[in-house]
A and B are shown apart, each in its own frame.
Chain A
């Protein structure tokens, strides 16, 4: 496969919420990921410059219906509990559709900000909800959300960054908590947090970039840790991390592009590896990863919209509020 089936992928995202999808039991078993799924779908469409493929007002209404007034955060589906992950998804979707200033959102903003701030623990980390799970991805999620809302303060970011630095290992990578092994997706969350807070100069970029480029394995795909199988989602986690460090070219683009294209279903949708079941998560990260490659190569082979490696949204959107400097 040498071609990107853009139109098919647009239709794939459009059909995710169709009656046919809703007739399947699996659709309902995935309720707890619905809002996250909408974010992935919206970013996939935005990357293909086809945001209008989804009905904006319906999306807007759905996002607001997921707001959990008791916690102040967004749940993944109406009546579900607020969680930091779905809260970031909601904020991102509202931002991409330029609806953060809608009065219905502005009303809720103080409660949303309070929800996120109260998840920060004394050691600087953030928990995902009040039940206490801590993970560097929740730190990124919180810092990213607050920065989008223009509510990130030095008081919150300083201890968060200190915690992130404790999660770095001798190999240059980062783990989910201090002591944990390096993992490419955690590397993304940590580097992106450092980028947002302007603290990238606190690490040695070459060491981390070398570890990241070692993730490319035969066949061109990327894995998440040494001696693991490649998986398409690392086309995002690794490429965004390398892009943040200005070292995207430390992997082989031809091999990676070929791996990504092979994961496509010609009928639409993209999967973790060739011939596996497609899903919107991998579809999103395949397209976003390809966009980063295009940006690094300064080519327009697939005609994708430039994506911000720190926020995983189009740069045209993030330009409105970013205050970090990319290397």
Chain B
């Protein structure tokens, strides 16, 4: 099982466990049997609804029971209910998932049900006089509890900064999520309120820890027993952002999202998820600028180029702060792209060479151990490769320049010579991937095989 230490019970403990288990098994199986019988009989009553609750308390991964619970709502409880009643039922189910997530933050099925509830929040309060609920102190408390359980055992002094920030954010979200009086007539009032709470939850999760609580719903078995970690907070953020009601305020745009990633990156350069999100949002912005060139296509390209150069400045800070961190290098790779911007490519190659000279360690110290605490279990030593970034990037960018930069004969010859040396260095300091480096030396351009002879020649 993921992250659970192997243990061997004594004979005594084994017998005791067997006896205890026998009672629990009997109770559990009786309940499951009763519930599945009701399900087979299409019993969509309140009693059946309560029974699903009791089973899920024991096993929140029982997807069939979650399905049945939704069927009971759709077929039995909702058809004759007012929209207030439906909203209240869904709100209480959201609270139920919150309480389960406190104990099982990584169980995929709980998150699935949570999404389903959110997506079924009815329109309203519309023209009724019912005041829209705000994000209550109690809600905030629940959310604190979830994020608290996700970060238990974390010893990160930086986290304290994070939590101060999180309070400010929570307050902002609270204000934003609070409909003003004139919004009582807002047909999207409930939806906005529910999604504002969700946005607050995901921001708290991301503030709680930049790495640990963002693992993905995987693997095949949708089970905490087997999963490396289930809810990827950034994936959930993308889901929430894409689900916000049209009139949600303040509006979330690619621009606001880029600002959000700036904040995340500046507080932790090695937050790859934030860099990744930035690639997606900037691409959206640039695509949209290109599709609607207000000041003519040339001006748009100039503006994009200006923005791109600002990105190089940002990522340079990360690379010079810690040349061993993979996140910045991956982002840099995205920024450089296919290397058609030759001037930028040449400049970046020169800067990486400078970096290697300033930090000779980047070349000769291949690995470094980093101790991280795992919030779910015990302290685990995480060992990552570091410091391959500068050299690998140099190889990659030099390859690009050999294709795009119309190098002179002497430049080409120098580039070939360098490439051979760097690939040899890489083979030596990173023997796990030596076959890959060897092949790179032979086939530097898979899409331009005519260049092969140039390198090997």
Q: Which of A28, A169, A183 contacts B29 (CB 8 A)?
A: A28
Asked if A1 lies at the interface with its beta carbon under 8 angstroms from chain B, I say: no
Stretch at the interface among B212-220, B244-252, B292-300: B212-220
Q: Is the CB of B63 within 8 A of A83?
A: yes
Asked if A308 lies at the interface with its beta carbon under 8 angstroms from chain B, I say: no
Given contacts A25-B25, A85-B222, A181-B235, contact A279 B385 (CB under 8 A): no
Q: Is the CB of B24 within 8 A of A226?
A: no
Q: Is the CB of B334 within 8 A of A170?
A: yes
Q: Which of A133, A176, A228, A272 contacts B235 (CB 8 A)?
A: A176
Q: Mark A151-184, 1 if CB is under 8 A from B, else 0.
A: 0000000000000000001110001110111010
Residue of B nearest to A33 (CB): B221
Q: How far is the CA of A209 from the CA of B115 in the complex (A)?
A: 34
Asked if A62 lies at the interface with its beta carbon under 8 angstroms from chain B, I say: no
Asked if A14 lies at the interface with its beta carbon under 8 angstroms from chain B, I say: no
Q: Is the CB of B273 within 8 A of A252?
A: no
Q: Is the CB of B18 within 8 A of A23?
A: yes
Residues 196 to 219 of chain A near chain B (Cβ within 8 Å): 204, 206, 209-210, 213-214, 216-219
Residues 5 to 24 of chain B near chain A (Cβ within 8 Å): 5-7, 17-18, 20-22, 24
Residue of B nearest to A81 (CB): B64
Q: How far is the CA of A218 from the CA of B430 in the complex (A)?
A: 10
Q: Is the CB of A229 within 8 A of B435?
A: no
Given contacts A218-B367, A278-B6, contact A272 B1 (CB under 8 A): yes
Stretch at the interface among B81-89, B175-183, B224-232, B339-347: B224-232
Q: Which of B20, B270, B431 contacts A252 (CB 8 A)?
A: B431
Given contacts A32-B61, A131-B116, contact A217 B218 (CB under 8 A): no
Residues 224 to 256 of chain A near chain B (Cβ within 8 Å): 224-229, 231, 233, 237, 247, 249-252, 255
Q: Which of A28, A186, A233 contacts B25 (CB 8 A)?
A: A28
- Which residues of chain B have C-beta atoms less than 8 A from A252's C-beta? 431-434
Q: Which of B1, B36, B436, B439 contacts A277 (CB 8 A)?
A: B1
Q: How far is the CA of A252 from the CA of B28 in the complex (A)?
A: 47
Q: Mark B62-92, 1 if CB is under 8 A from A, else 0.
A: 1110010010000000000000000000000
- Which residues of chain A have C-beta atoms less than 8 A from B61's C-beta? 29, 32
Q: How far is the CA of A170 from the CA of B433 in the complex (A)?
A: 21
Q: Which of A32, A183, A250, A273 contacts B436 (CB 8 A)?
A: A250
- Which residues of chain B have C-beta atoms less than 8 A from A273's C-beta? 3
Please give the distance in Å from B339's CB to the nearest CB on chain A.
14
Q: Is the CB of B432 within 8 A of A276?
A: no
- Which residues of chain A have C-beta atoms less than 8 A from B447's C-beta? 204
Residues 111 to 160 of chain A near chain B (Cβ within 8 Å): 129, 131-133, 135, 137
Q: How far is the CA of A226 from the CA of B24 in the complex (A)?
A: 41
Q: How far is the CA of A78 from the CA of B344 in the complex (A)?
A: 62
Q: Is the CB of A227 within 8 A of B63?
A: no
Q: Is the CB of A81 within 8 A of B382?
A: no
Residues 114 to 145 of chain B near chain A (Cβ within 8 Å): 115-116
Q: Is the CB of A80 within 8 A of B3?
A: no
Given contacts A227-B382, A277-B6, contact A171 B116 (CB under 8 A): no
Q: Is the CB of A250 within 8 A of B433?
A: yes
Given contacts A85-B222, A279-B1, contact A131 B112 (CB under 8 A): yes
Q: Is the CB of A227 within 8 A of B211?
A: yes
**Count of A-B residue pairs with CB < 8 Å:** 189
Residue of A nearest to B396 (CB): A210
Please give the distance in Å from B96's CB to the nearest CB on chain A.
17
Q: How far is the CA of A75 from the CA of B36 in the complex (A)?
A: 13
- Which residues of chain B have C-beta atoms less than 8 A from A278's C-beta? 1, 6
Q: How far is the CA of A205 from the CA of B258 in the complex (A)?
A: 30
Asked if B97 lies at the interface with its beta carbon under 8 angstroms from chain A, I say: no
- Which residues of chain A have C-beta atoms less than 8 A from B434's C-beta? 252
Q: Is the CB of B25 within 8 A of A227?
A: no
Asked if B327 lies at the interface with its beta carbon under 8 angstroms from chain A, I say: yes
Asked if A87 lies at the interface with its beta carbon under 8 angstroms from chain B, I say: no
Q: Is the CB of B327 within 8 A of A226?
A: yes
Q: Is the CB of A36 within 8 A of B217?
A: no
Residue of A nearest to B374 (CB): A229
Q: Mark A21-44, 1 if CB is under 8 A from B, else 0.
A: 001110011111100100000000
Q: Is the CB of B6 within 8 A of A29?
A: no
Please give the distance in Å from B401's CB to the nearest CB on chain A.
18
- Which residues of chain B have C-beta atoms less than 8 A from A271's C-beta? 1, 6
Q: Is the CB of A217 within 8 A of B217?
A: no
Residues 367 to 382 of chain B near chain A (Cβ within 8 Å): 367, 369, 374, 380, 382
- Which residues of chain B have C-beta atoms less than 8 A from A169's C-beta? 276, 279
Given contacts A131-B67, A277-B1, contact A224 B218 (CB under 8 A): yes
Q: Which of B32, B59, B116 contacts A132 (CB 8 A)?
A: B116
Give me 12 A-to-B residue pairs in the complex whose CB atoms sit less than 8 angstroms apart, sorted by A's number. A29-B58, A129-B67, A170-B334, A209-B436, A218-B383, A224-B216, A225-B272, A226-B272, A226-B384, A233-B228, A276-B2, A277-B1
Since A131-B70, A185-B220 are in contact, a sample of 13 more A-B pairs with Cβ atoms closer than 8 Å, ordered by chain A residue number, is: A25-B24, A36-B221, A131-B67, A133-B115, A135-B217, A171-B333, A213-B433, A224-B218, A265-B6, A272-B2, A277-B4, A279-B225, A281-B221
Shortest 8 CB-CB distances between A and B: which pairs? A252-B432, A218-B383, A277-B4, A25-B21, A277-B1, A80-B64, A250-B436, A170-B334
